[in-house]
Structure 1
Amino acid sequence: MSNTSLRRSLGTKLRLAILGTTLVALVLALGTMIAYDLRTWHRGWIADVQAQADLLGHASAEDLAAGNPRGAQDALATLRLQPRLRNAAVYDAQGRLFAGWHAAGSDAPPTTLARTDADAGAGASHDLLVRSPIVDQGRTLGTVTVRARDEIDERIAGYAAVSLGLVLLALAITWAVSGWLKAIVLRPLAAMADIARDAVQHGVSSRRAAKLGEDEVGELVDAFNGLLAEIERRKSEQDAAAADKDREVAERRHAQQEVMRLNEELERRVHDRTAQLESSNRDLQLATREAESANRAKSEFLSNMSHELRTPLNAIIGFGQLLNHADAGGDPERNRGFVQHIVDAGNHLLTLINEILNLAQIESGKVTISLEPVELREVLEECHALTRTASAQRGIRLVFPMETPLSVSADRTRLKQVLLNLLSNAVKYNREHGAVIVECTAGDQGRIRVAVQDTGNGLTPDQLRQLFQPFNRLGLDNTTIEGSGIGLVLTKRLVELMGGTIGVRSTPGTGSTFWIDLRSAEPAAMPRAPSRPRLPTPSELVGDPQLATILCVDDNRANLALLTEALSLRTDCMVLTATDGQAGVDMARSHSPDVILMDNNMPIMSGREAMRVLQQDPATAGIPIIAVSAAAMPAMVSSGLEQGYFRYLVKPYDLVDLTDAIDAAIDMSRRGGVAPDADA
């Protein structure tokens, strides 16, 4: 923007500010004066018309009483001297016109008095209507009405004309004054702006601004000129010193460039080295975390696998030793029971080993999948036949699709294994007399979904996050439902190998739905949960006081039967049994046994929790407790002995070791104190 436009903009702003201020002041002053005058005039006019009506009413009272309308007409005729009055009328007490008058060119008063007219106010076309009652000696004889022309519009128009003239005159005077102010204030400022622009753009500092007065603007001009003089002096000094420094600057520039080059080279090397170290540290941290995670996973896998393998092995070895015992023969029925326990445990062990081997083969990539078109109808019929018996034992209703034409691209054997696994879980974890529903639906992008829905207890969000981890039974390890926690992991791996996906939806308390999606084409029955052994009554425990009372606590029916049968060979002990930790605590408190054989993983209350409860009770704190557990990792054994177990027997255990541990515990118990032995 040029200097001229700047001056014009500032001058225009100054003039507009003065004009605006003057205009606002005039409008406020004139508006207030006119409004006050109109209000005063209007009130006076109403008072005048009201007085005229009152006088007419007083003058017409006698004529109205005497029934002389002519006298009242004469009184009304006097109103012709009032040019602003339009009409007037006298009405009797019944509202009928008694006498009336109206000016030339105005409407005659109505023949009857309207009851809804206001006592005083504006009528049609801004007319003013005033009504006054005619009263004689306290008696109302009639009413006088007077209608007058309201001239407020004419007065407003007159005021507006005068106000407009005053405003125009004031604006003209203000415009002239603002021009004078603009000349004496803005001219020196414009000159200083031009001089400053030349000094900045062209380096000209010899020009000076003209001083027009001794006021503040003049002082500003003097200060500005002094500033220019000081700038000019310093500039000359700087020019003289600049020549001396040019040589020094040239010499230093070369040295600085060399130093900068060396610094840049050093920074680049440090940056590259730092980046290499950071990358190495990140790789090292990642490798460390992966190694720690792999080590933890291996330890957990070995611990869980050891526990799951030792549990059936314990029953196999124990019952085998019982059959091999010299005193065990004689009762064929009893021996057949032992053999059945061995067979059941062996089958369970075989299933577990097969699942572990299958999982290992899948993880190592040695499983071969042969994809082919498979009709779901045929596979579902075979799965239905294989799960019908297990579901019928618990009264669970199986609902399969009546007929499905859908086919999937899958390995027929592996698909059947997947569906049997899902169906088996749906039956095993279902409620009694529940239902399992199988549905087949076609989805988007050429996918087929097979869903298995149960009516069990469902899964919590935390359990859903841990669902497909090996040996993780979601907190169900202490229940009577058998399982290894590998089945769902195998199912997931097999589905993924066939190019599909697996998922689950579950609502706690309602049930779960497992589904698999395969390209354009689910579990085997498990044995029923064992029933809890009957606990002996106190009357059955009455016997020889020299007999040692041994309490066996284990939730596994076969392991509990093995302990009972092994101890039945002894003639110096009486055996009590309990199938969970809480029942074991209750039995120990009520029967005060000499020795307690305690499993670790049990429902309601674990073995270690039960041991802590018994140790805190003075009545049971002195009872030696022998751990009989399939948790065989050294850390588990050491921590168990540290927490107070008398001995720690690992399943499968040798009956000789069991006898030695019981003998030592009975001896310690009868001597009145417990000294935990660190030997497992």
Structure 2
Amino acid sequence: MIGLRSIRLKLLAVVLLTTLLALLVSLGGIIAYDLRNYHRTLLADMAVQSELLGHMTSAALTFDDPGLARQNLGLLRLRPGVNAAAIYKAGGALFASYVAPGQAGSFPARAGADGVRIDGGQLHLFKRIVDNGELLGTVYLRADYNLLGHILDYLGIAIGVAALALLAAYLLMRRLDAVITRPVLAIAEVAREVVGTGDYSRRAPRLGEDEVAQLADSFNKMLAEIEHRTRALETSNREIARAAEQRSAAQQEVMRLNADLERRVLERTLQLEASNVELARAVEEAKSADQAKSSFLSAMSHELRTPLNAILGFAQILTSERLPSTLAQKHEFADHILKSGRHLLTLINEILDLAKVESGTVDLSLEPVGLADMLAECDSMIAPLAAQRRIGLVFPDACALNVRADRTRLKQVLLNLLSNAVKYNRDGGTVLLDCHDGGAGLVRLSVQDTGAGLRAEQLDGLFQPFNRLGQERGTQEGTGIGLVVTKRLVELMAGQIGVSSQPGVGSVFWVDLPATAPTPAPAAPAPEPAAAAAAARPGAAALTLLYVEDNPANLRLVEEIVRFRPGLRLLSAPDGKLGVEMARAHRPDLILMDLNLPGIGGAEALQLLRADPLTAHIPVIALTANAMPRDVERGLAQGFARYLTKPINIDEFTQAVNSTLAGVAHREEQT
């Protein structure tokens, strides 16, 4: 019965599916054709309607008569399929409109481009009104686009037709089922019994004279042949199966062993190759690191010892009783010491900058930077250096461009390029700075000099550390680090740096940075009071300055600076704890605080002072050798009024003290 049901169901399914497929193809073609016809007819009708409205309302648009346009639009009430219509002027403004009863009265704010758009079951059409080549306005029509309703109607018809056709096919197959499937099922029944019992003596009945009867004869002959051969092969098959099973097991074991061996050999080979590659890479990296370290230490030793030689040498002469010197010579020696000290400080700062850039710890604040003010600052800062060698500076009269960069680091980049252009220029030469739009959203800044220029081999190593031009002749001072730091800073600001040079003519260094829109200029700060007013006021008592410092030499330096300031009294403390106690006892007007102090540090001492009502109002200036940008930011965030770094710049130190004391004096006058 299982076989009977199976073949009958399959045959019935084939007939029904064939019938259904034919119906779907036929009905689908008819529906698609009719829907396409509906779409085209509706579009053509709306296009013709828009053309008619355009011609009818051209006069109204020409004479600016909205009433006439509304009368023309009112004729659309004879077209129930049109929900709304409007006339727009040539500029896109609404001129006249029509809304069918019971429809929404919203219209587009402006006339759209010519075309048709279908949205939410509605068709929207825009058509320009052109008369004698002149655009007068635009016609807008909104009509029902009931494509979904047509589809649903057709689907209902298709389902009904398909159901009737399938029912007819089913009834017809019920009549023909026994004629087609009975002989086949008889053969299937015999085959099932032979398979179930293993009795090959059974034979299928022969019903009729068609192909199924021939199939029954062939099936019976096959059963007879199988019966004959089965008996002959049963014994030998058992032996062959046993031998084959044994050979298969042995072969599988051999294959398993071979595969395992190949896998182990491949793993060991890959491990050995990887180890060799890693070892070779490690050896090369170690060699490169060792060479780089040796070169760095050698260059550093030379660069540090050169200014130290001048500092220590002239200092020994000044302190030696066996080498007497005149006052003019003492001034000369002091100038040499000061110059070498500043060079040593520059070297240390550049090495620190290089270390920060290479380690990725540089903190940048990218913001819009106006180049006009930036170039003016650079001009004023580089002018004294250029004047010493009679080098002319040519800056643009006005540069209204803005770049996205870190203001401080951009100034550092420009000053480095300008100072190099002055340093490697000829006496009486020229340095030309230019800024212009570089295209692709970039601004190009270029610095051109009239120096000796660079050869090709010099350009190849120009941005390498300690590659100082002129060192082979001993004609120029420098560290060879500045251009390396400059290149890294430009790249961190998403820019590029390059150089072109011609020996005997000069060099041009250029920097490309992203262009940006300017930001509103901040309000100008109020001018600081004069330095003299900060130091003392007529008839006022002397101001007290407390310096917390554990280094005697640094303390002595500040004492000498303050000694020339009338109206200032200096107190000192060697550690943070004593500094806090002296501040509570003497109530100074200003405190200078080192950060690295024995016992409690400067930051902790500041917190103790702020927590005490007796000292909370006293301004505290940090004076420390912690000169990293993040140290400065941290110090100002902790509450220090100013943050000064060592070595002390006397002018900067004096200005900071003056401005802070002036603020103290102003508060006292108010109270």
Give the TM-score, by structure 1 length: 0.38
Which structure: larger Rg? 1
More relative contact order in 1 or in 2 (CA 8 Å, sep 6+)? 1
